[in-house]
Chain A
Amino acid sequence: MSKAVNTSGYAGFISARRLLFWSGIVALCAWVLVPIYLVALGALGGRTGAYQWPKNFLPTDISLQPFILFLKTEGVFQSFLNSLGAAGITVALSIALGAPAGYALARYNFRGKDSYRLLVLLTRAFPLAILALPLTVSYIRLGLYDTVLGVGLIHTVLALPFAALVTQGIFLGVPRELEEAAWVFGCTRIQAFFKVVAPLALPGLVATAVFAFVISWNEVFAASVLTVRHRTLTAYLLTVLSESPMHYRFAGGLMLILPSVVFIFAVRRYLFAIWGVSSK
């Protein structure tokens, strides 16, 4: 009899735990998803939908019309291309510079390795706002002001610390012995890197690349300060949207969110691996 009571108490404990677990998950998902949903609703619900109050949570009266109208607006497409260009430069440079740094951190022991890792992160602690004026002056002098390249360079600075640290984790995940086996069986260090390490690190390197892409894609401050005519999408929207109707703003917001959401969903596994949660 007492045994039965114990089991039911235990089962109660388990179900309470499960309830807590799932309600936590639901709350976290809602925290992220509800705003995105509302933005999408505002963007696709037309002029009336955006202003309607109380909000209708069900998607009624959906039309792509405001979204298409937004895409057709002058400057949107050009700034979209500028964003892609700046993000492309950021990706290329942060992989080209960050991956070798990450490899060195993963494979070599050198004096000051730990302080280097800390220092690399500290570059992010420097508020960009303080740098804005000197940066603008130097950019004007260098001829980088109001260019996509200039924006790409400053975004690289933002993405590079992450690229170095994240690729370190990826290269640590490739067993050293595999590389040594390649050396023994006829590879130089460089050959071993391209034949063995690179193929195994590739998924992680791709994740790092898209990470850099998103950092650049979402960055708005530097892009606004350093450009006038060649704005990136974020910077362009920031200036344009304040004078636009509500549903129009929602369309812009949705367009900014979507690439990031798609990307993070695609690489979620690698992000876990990076922070040491994965089993290997």
Chain B
Amino acid sequence: MANIVIDNIKKSFGAFQALKGVSLTINDGEFVSLLGPSGCGKTTLLRIIAGLETSTSGDVRIGEKSVIGLLPKDRGLAMVFQNYAVFPHMTVYENVAFGLRMQKADDARVKKQVEKAAGLLHIEPYLDRYPNKLSGGQRQRVAVARALAVEPGVLLMDEPLSNLDALLRLEMRTELKTVLQEAGTTTIYVTHDQTEAMGLSDRIAVVHDGRIEQVGTPVEVYNHPATRFVGGFIGNPPMNFITMPVTGGQVTAGAQQFAVPAQGGEIVLGLRGETVERAPTGQGLDMQVRVAEPMGSHLLLTGSILGQPARVILPATETVKNGETVGLTLDPKRLTWLSPESGVSYPAAA
């Protein structure tokens, strides 16, 4: 068990700056996701923590001890790789036991730990098999068991579910959460899948273009994105951004008026699609619906608000025809206001 401090890590590959000064503190036992699109630097950051990559500058401390310059094996961590990286020339048992054997653990301890990890991940029936006889999901379980068997202070996971099919992914996600809660290991989880990050994490760090844009609980990050990028990246459909005129510190939407943190000019309204309620036109914002898609659980509307593209979600009980104009009232507590110039959001109103 250990906390992790990432202190102003920078990494360049030639002229390309992959990480532009990243700082992040992860508490003991916490599950933090690094979430971002591919190429944002999240995997590079994870590999620097693991010691598989060197940073250009900055410090990483695990349990108050700087690990820069230490070999991966001396950092007290375990890792689950994207392609599982299960050793093909060893049985499942020997794979799970690998870390313990390298620590020169005695056979009794190896057996006990392997059986415990195998039990957690339900791979006991396969312990004598070789990995090429296993499916992708089973290999992934072996990879996780191998990591948990050494009881690491820190567990690093690099897109561990991305190679699984959708159904299996959902199943493994739930199971991972249970297993990791039980183990209580400090975990850093790299993913580009926002539902994984939302579902698993205590906190999410959204990485974009070599920087951390926001760190917060899944609910914070979802409801109050720090930047336009975060709002657009998290949520399905993504957050709507509607530029609106400000007069005297107020924004008017039909009959609704909102005090905003700007005096004049324009402001961007960050609107989550499911926070609106249907109302007669003119009551709030009016939306010109181009396509209405009944999804079963909800009704997805695509169209425009004030001439700007928007997607909103209404309860499945509503009926809307293509081409119709619907009125929407806004919930003042669930709106985000952003600066049109910088794309940074204003602090949520108290």
The judgment on whether A and B are partners is yes
Chain A: residues with CB nearer than 8 A to chain B? 175, 177-178, 180-188, 191, 196, 199-200
On whether the beta carbons of A196 and B71 are closer than 8 Å, the reply is no
Interface presence of B50 (CB below 8 A): yes
With A178-B85, A180-B81, A199-B89 in contact, is A185–B102 under 8 Å at CB? yes
On whether the beta carbons of A185 and B78 are closer than 8 Å, the reply is yes
Give Cα A199–Cα B130 distance, bound, in whole angstroms.
Answer: 14
A178, A186, A191: the one contacting B87 at CB < 8 Å is A178
CB nearest neighbor in B for A196:
B87
CB neighbours (8 Å) of A196 from chain B are: 87, 89
Interface presence of B73 (CB below 8 A): yes
Give Cα A183–Cα B202 distance, bound, in whole angstroms.
Answer: 28
Give Cα A128–Cα B82 distance, bound, in whole angstroms.
Answer: 50
Interface presence of B38 (CB below 8 A): no
CB neighbours (8 Å) of B50 from chain A are: 180, 184
Give Cα A131–Cα B208 distance, bound, in whole angstroms.
Answer: 60
A184, A187, A188, A200: the one contacting B88 at CB < 8 Å is A200
Give Cα A175–Cα B51 distance, bound, in whole angstroms.
Answer: 18
On whether the beta carbons of B146 and A185 are closer than 8 Å, the reply is yes
CB neighbours (8 Å) of A199 from chain B are: 89
Interface presence of B212 (CB below 8 A): no
Give Cα A180–Cα B71 distance, bound, in whole angstroms.
Answer: 11
Chain B 127-147 near chain A by CB (<8 Å), digits 1 or 0: 000000000000000000010
On whether the beta carbons of B99 and A186 are closer than 8 Å, the reply is yes
With A177-B85, A196-B87 in contact, is A185–B99 under 8 Å at CB? yes
CB neighbours (8 Å) of B72 from chain A are: 180, 183-184
Shortest beta-carbon distance, A258 to chain B, in Å?
A: 33
CB neighbours (8 Å) of A200 from chain B are: 88-89
On whether the beta carbons of A183 and B71 are closer than 8 Å, the reply is yes
A177, A183, A187, A191: the one contacting B83 at CB < 8 Å is A177
CB neighbours (8 Å) of B81 from chain A are: 177, 180-181
Most buried by A among B82, B87, B103: B87
Can you list 21 contacts pairing A with B, beta carbon distance less than 8 Å? Answer: A175-B83, A175-B85, A177-B85, A178-B88, A180-B50, A180-B79, A180-B85, A181-B79, A181-B85, A182-B87, A183-B71, A184-B51, A184-B72, A184-B73, A184-B78, A185-B73, A185-B98, A186-B73, A186-B98, A186-B99, A196-B89
Shortest beta-carbon distance, B146 to chain A, in Å?
A: 7
Give the residues from 8 to 54 in chain B that come closer than 8 angstroms, CB to CB, to chain A: 50-52
Give Cα A186–Cα B87 distance, bound, in whole angstroms.
Answer: 14
Interface presence of B1 (CB below 8 A): no
A175, A181, A185, A188: the one contacting B150 at CB < 8 Å is A185
CB neighbours (8 Å) of A178 from chain B are: 85, 87-88
Give Cα A186–Cα B79 distance, bound, in whole angstroms.
Answer: 11
With A180-B81, A181-B79, A181-B81 in contact, is A188–B87 under 8 Å at CB? no
CB nearest neighbor in B for A185:
B99
CB neighbours (8 Å) of B146 from chain A are: 185
Which 5 residue pairs spanning A and B have beta carbons closest together?
A186-B102, A185-B99, A177-B85, A181-B85, A183-B72
Give Cα A175–Cα B150 distance, bound, in whole angstroms.
Answer: 23
CB neighbours (8 Å) of B150 from chain A are: 185-186
Interface presence of B285 (CB below 8 A): no
CB neighbours (8 Å) of A177 from chain B are: 81-83, 85
Known contacts A177-B81, A180-B52, A183-B72; 18 additional CB pairs below 8 A are A177-B83, A178-B85, A178-B88, A180-B72, A180-B85, A182-B87, A183-B51, A183-B73, A184-B52, A184-B77, A184-B78, A184-B79, A185-B78, A185-B102, A185-B146, A186-B103, A187-B102, A196-B87
CB nearest neighbor in A for B101:
A186
CB nearest neighbor in B for A189:
B71
On whether the beta carbons of B77 and A181 are closer than 8 Å, the reply is no
CB neighbours (8 Å) of A175 from chain B are: 83, 85
Shortest beta-carbon distance, B115 to chain A, in Å?
A: 18
CB neighbours (8 Å) of B71 from chain A are: 183, 188
Shortest beta-carbon distance, B341 to chain A, in Å?
A: 41
On whether the beta carbons of B52 and A183 are closer than 8 Å, the reply is yes
CB neighbours (8 Å) of B88 from chain A are: 178, 200
Give Cα A178–Cα B95 distance, bound, in whole angstroms.
Answer: 11
CB nearest neighbor in B for A192:
B73
Most buried by B among A180, A182, A196: A180
CB neighbours (8 Å) of B87 from chain A are: 178, 181-182, 196
Shortest beta-carbon distance, A192 to chain B, in Å?
A: 9
CB neighbours (8 Å) of A181 from chain B are: 79, 81, 85, 87
Shortest beta-carbon distance, A239 to chain B, in Å?
A: 48
Chain B 299-314 near chain A by CB (<8 Å), digits 1 or 0: 0000000000000000
Give Cα A199–Cα B89 distance, bound, in whole angstroms.
Answer: 7
Give Cα A70–Cα B103 distance, bound, in whole angstroms.
Answer: 60
